[in-house]
Structure 1
């Protein structure tokens, strides 16, 4: 697909055609760079910017996946400013997206694209959107908070995560759990947040919370494992399911005691 065809697909709101063009390999590193989402167009825009302007979350997400690692600081600022403007005027203008999504979905797609970019400026967007009225936006916030293997870098990170862990939307809470259950730092706030997920309706969230508590060497994982309920081990990751048992085994070894197979 040529650059002209890509732009036509963006204008028509045909996300499927856009994805086919990009997945076909017509990217900036190939001989035919026409389908590059960041290719400058005669009007000064790019296919990615036009997708954001259109308010189509599907197009925006498709193009961002192929351009996020090449966005400059100027590109990111322009895209986010455009998404915010669309979000603010969409309802007033009565616009409806071809995908049925509304303005916040475009902002969420833009923010999600920035989670692939290692830039401190992008991290500031997390706290700024923690209380956004749309859960699709709040659901991206945990992934915007950068961390090393053992620590979060933003000074407000734990306050933001703790607030989102109490979010009324279950998918937002699940996003927090997803970010924390493999965190290797021994931050007390992390274990407290994970313990709060042990009563979630979503069984996978409960399983991951138990695994995270076990990784944090927190004894609450043992009781949490009992709250998981029946599972079909053939369909689940045994490493996750056995996290509490490994915790018990570690502690018995440290104490020099034989392991009671009924203790976990």
Structure 2
């Protein structure tokens, strides 16, 4: 095998073919006409999937290249943390000598501290215009991509530095990691996501204390970052020895009652608290049910439900939900409606409010309420009639939930509803359980008729 097919597959970004060729005996370090291995081609194209397949198939990320660099060095220069992770390979701390690890860390830190644009200008000697675009880095978050002349880089070196430190087991101070995360003031940036991941993996008491101390930082970005890491703690605690579930819940309750001044941050505090278990969650929700900011009020319904749902609501929680269901903000109404549906007590009062939300003047409220009602327990004629009315909605998802809700209620208008939802084959809905249920209902009816 001369490698021509592998080069072509790498150039196309065809992971399946690349993997198949490597399994069939293609040389993973195949060199192209420019003297570089195909791993460099994948890294330059920011194709992390192909790069990972090559490394898993035996490509050498530490191979010395004609210019003295390596594919791993080139990946770091390229600035994509996802590509660097793919090229880095397994057990890099054991594979790479300490001197080389330190050189790689220094390279990433140079790019980060100097700034991608300045480093790019220094390398090219070009004082011209730098073209900048926002790019997604394979699901890790977004990053700025810069092009100057013939050279393109991504400014993800903060994330790369963080990832390399963790891979080499360099325990960077919590304060420095937080500073990297919040520098972009954007939770969707790769620098933020990498710092969040590393700190969610570091479960020592020292890390916990240093991180949570930023709860009192005057900049809201620091406080938001603490909440983001705490949320990761909660999401990944089941298999962790040091889960900090109890500590996180206690901290969140204190935070929510201590007077957080930023409504946006307070709303996030309530959201993360709703994902935890604490005896005071309902009391915290009631405390903020009349908050002037709708972002805060919108987080209250989930707190009033708590983790013990389904269960009877206490009178105060029940009254608060009914008030929130009539809130002036449509997002708050929608959240309250979903909570009422989940905690339905069989009363006509709840049913009347839910029907009102299914007929709300705002399409978003109707859509979210229909989604919750479809699987809800209310089987009243009023709710079924309201679902039928939604079959005329412009939004396909709303119509689909209305038809699915009628089917689950064994409503005699189900067949008509399915006809009004059609076509049942839609891109993006190939594995949707609701459409599958409609298909099965229709197929069963037609075959019973044919058999009869």
TM-score (norm 1): 0.71
Q: Distance in 2 between matches of 1:34 and 1:186?
A: 39
Q: Which has the larger radius of gyration?
A: 2
Report the equivalent of 1:141: 336
Report the equivalent of 1:128: 323
Report the equivalent of 2:214: 8
Could you tell me which runs of 5 or more consecutive residues in structure 1 were left unpaired when the two chains were aligned.
Answer: 88-102
Distance 1:200 1:185, change over 3 A: same
Task: From 435, 438, 446, give the equivalent of 1:241.
Answer: 435
Q: Distance in 2 between matches of 1:33 and 1:157?
A: 34
Distance 1:6 1:184, change over 3 A: same
> Are the equivalent residues in 2 in contact too, given 1:10–1:51 (CA < 8 A)?
no
Superimposed CA distance per residue, residues 139-197 of structure 1 (whole angstroms, 9 cap, x where no aligned partner) = 1112222658xx74344111000111111111111121111112355421221121121
> Are the equivalent residues in 1 in contact too, given 2:263–2:296 (CA < 8 A)?
yes
Q: Distance in 2 between matches of 1:10 and 1:175?
A: 36
1:211 equivalenced with 2:420 (yes/no): no
Superimposed CA distance per residue, residues 16-56 of structure 1 (whole angstroms, 9 cap, x where no aligned partner) = 332114424698x837679524239xxxx712334755322
Superimposed CA distance per residue, residues 102-158 of structure 1 (whole angstroms, 9 cap, x where no aligned partner) = x1111111223333343512333221222210111101112222658xx74344111
Task: From 171, 176, 190, give the equivalent of 2:369.
Answer: 176
Q: Map 1:36-47 to 2 at 5 A.
A: 36-39=248-251, 46-47=254-255
Q: Map 1:1-264 to 2 at 5 A.
A: 1-3=207-209, 5-9=211-215, 11=217, 12-14=219-221, 15-24=224-233, 30=242, 36-39=248-251, 46-50=254-258, 53-56=261-264, 57-67=266-276, 69-72=277-280, 76-82=282-288, 84=290, 86-87=291-292, 103-117=293-307, 118=309, 120-121=313-314, 122-145=317-340, 152-183=345-376, 186-230=379-423, 232-233=425-426, 235-236=428-429, 237-248=431-442, 257-258=449-450
Q: Secondary structure in 2 aligned to 1:46? A: helix
Q: Distance in 2 between matches of 1:243 and 1:34?
A: 41
Q: Distance in 2 between matches of 1:223 and 1:70?
A: 46
> Are the equivalent residues in 2 in contact too, given 1:83–1:110 (CA < 8 A)?
yes
Structure with higher RCO (Cα < 8 A, 6+ apart): 1
> Are the equivalent residues in 1 in contact too, given 2:351–2:378 (CA < 8 A)?
no
Q: Distance in 2 between matches of 1:182 and 1:34?
A: 32
Distance 1:51 1:24, change over 3 A: farther
TM-score (norm 2): 0.44
Q: Distance in 2 between matches of 1:178 and 1:120?
A: 22
Comparing 223-232 and 161-170, the one that deviates more: 223-232
Q: Secondary structure in 1 aligned to 2:352? A: helix
Superimposed CA distance per residue, residues 74-101 of structure 1 (whole angstroms, 9 cap, x where no aligned partner) = x5334432452x41xxxxxxxxxxxxxx
Distance 1:34 1:51, change over 3 A: farther
Q: Distance in 2 between matches of 1:79 and 1:179?
A: 21
> Are the equivalent residues in 1 in contact too, given 2:391–2:420 (CA < 8 A)?
yes
Could you tell me which runs of 5 or more consecutive residues in structure 2 were left unpaired when the two chains were aligned.
Answer: 1-206
> Are the equivalent residues in 2 in contact too, given 1:145–1:154 (CA < 8 A)?
no
